[in-house]
């Protein structure tokens, strides 16, 4: 999970990982000093994300002696496209202050271009549909490409019944080549992510294959205690 976050890739874009990397659990505590925090506050949201990823890569190289190289491989992806009955998205308005919008960790407004991802819900303010594709990629563990052709920024709320057996993450539809599983699981009382996407936003995901960059792990070692 840390490698995924540090390099901005999905689960199926990492190869060569030893079994313990996905089976052993660790507590990781990393702290920034005050000057680093102050510098982050001066950056935009996207710049802060890139800087946090860079710091996490340094941590992994230091504590796990992680080294890797990049390759290109044909991988299964989802294409996010407009569903048969058309879109149901709300286009954001320039200058909308979002007084009741998302809040940051400090309780202050998160700004007009904000996003929140949690089990069973994605909320996006004034961002392009590409941001929704990115959020779905994080949840599904498979790259979702924005093929909707929609331009501009949108306010998006998507709610579904998360799969509790996967800690709130989502099941990929097995044997469904179109990626439009409309049936909720037996233990859930709400729609699946695929059904919710069509019903609430007028979008759907179709299974495709596409050349994707993968991370091939050359070396990784179990971290020692502090």
Q: Could you report the per-residue pLDDT of 145-174, keeping only the tens digit for each? A: 999 999 999 999 999 998 754 433 444 333
Distance, CA of 37 to chain centre = 24
Domain assignment present for residue 15? The answer is: yes
Q: What is the percentage of the chain residues whose pLDDT exceeds 90?
A: 53
∠4-71-60 over CA atoms, to 5°? 35
Coil, strand or helix: which one is 160?
Answer: coil
Domain assignment present for residue 226? The answer is: no
Question: What pLDDT score does 180 carry?
Answer: 35
| DSSP label at residue 92 | P
Each residue's pLDDT tens digit, 58-70: 999 999 999 999 9
Confidence tier at 211 by pLDDT (50, 70, 90) = very high
Domain assignment present for residue 225? The answer is: no
Question: What pLDDT score does 113 carry?
Answer: 58
More confident residue, 105 or 115: 115
Nearest to 143 by CA among 47, 15, 4: 4
Domain assignment present for residue 224? The answer is: no
The structure's pTM equals 0.68
Domain assignment present for residue 199? The answer is: yes
Nearest to 111 by CA among 122, 129, 121, 125: 125
Question: What pLDDT score does 128 carry?
Answer: 93
Domain assignment present for residue 18? The answer is: yes
Domain assignment present for residue 129? The answer is: yes
Give me the number of domains the chain comprises: 1
> Residue 80: what are its φ and ψ, rounded to 5°?
-90, 115
Range of the domain at 79: 2-219
Domain assignment present for residue 53? The answer is: yes
Confidence tier at 105 by pLDDT (50, 70, 90) = low
Residues with Cβ within 8 Å of 94's Cβ and at least 6 positions away in sequence, in order, are: none
């Amino acid at each position: 999970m840390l490698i995924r976050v540090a390099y901005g890739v999905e689960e199926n874009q990492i190869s060569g990982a030893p079994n313990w990397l996905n089976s052993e659990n660790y507590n990781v505590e990393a702290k920034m000093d005050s000057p680093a925090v102050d510098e982050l506050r001066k950056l935009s949201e996207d710049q802060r994300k890139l800087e946090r990823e860079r710091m996490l890569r340094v941590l992994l190289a230091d504590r796990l002696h992680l080294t890797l190289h990049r390759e290109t491989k044909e991988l299964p992806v989802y294409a996010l496209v407009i569903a048969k009955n058309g879109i149901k998205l709300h286009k954001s308005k320039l200058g909308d202050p979002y007084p009741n919008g998302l809040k940051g960790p400090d309780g202050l407004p998160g700004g007009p271009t904000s996003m929140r991802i949690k089990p069973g819900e994605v909320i996006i303010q004034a961002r392009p549909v590409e941001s929704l594709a990115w959020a779905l990629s994080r949840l599904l563990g498979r790259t979702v490409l924005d093929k909707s052709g929609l331009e501009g920024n949108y306010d998006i709320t998507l709610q579904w019944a998360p799969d509790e057996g996967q800690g709130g993450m989502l099941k990929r539809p097995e044997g469904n080549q179109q990626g439009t599983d409309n049936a909720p699981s037996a233990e859930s009382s709400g729609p699946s992510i695929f059904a919710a996407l069509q019903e609430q936003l007028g979008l759907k995901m179709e299974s495709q294959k596409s050349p994707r960059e993968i991370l091939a792990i050359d070396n990784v070692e179990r971290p020692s205690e502090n």
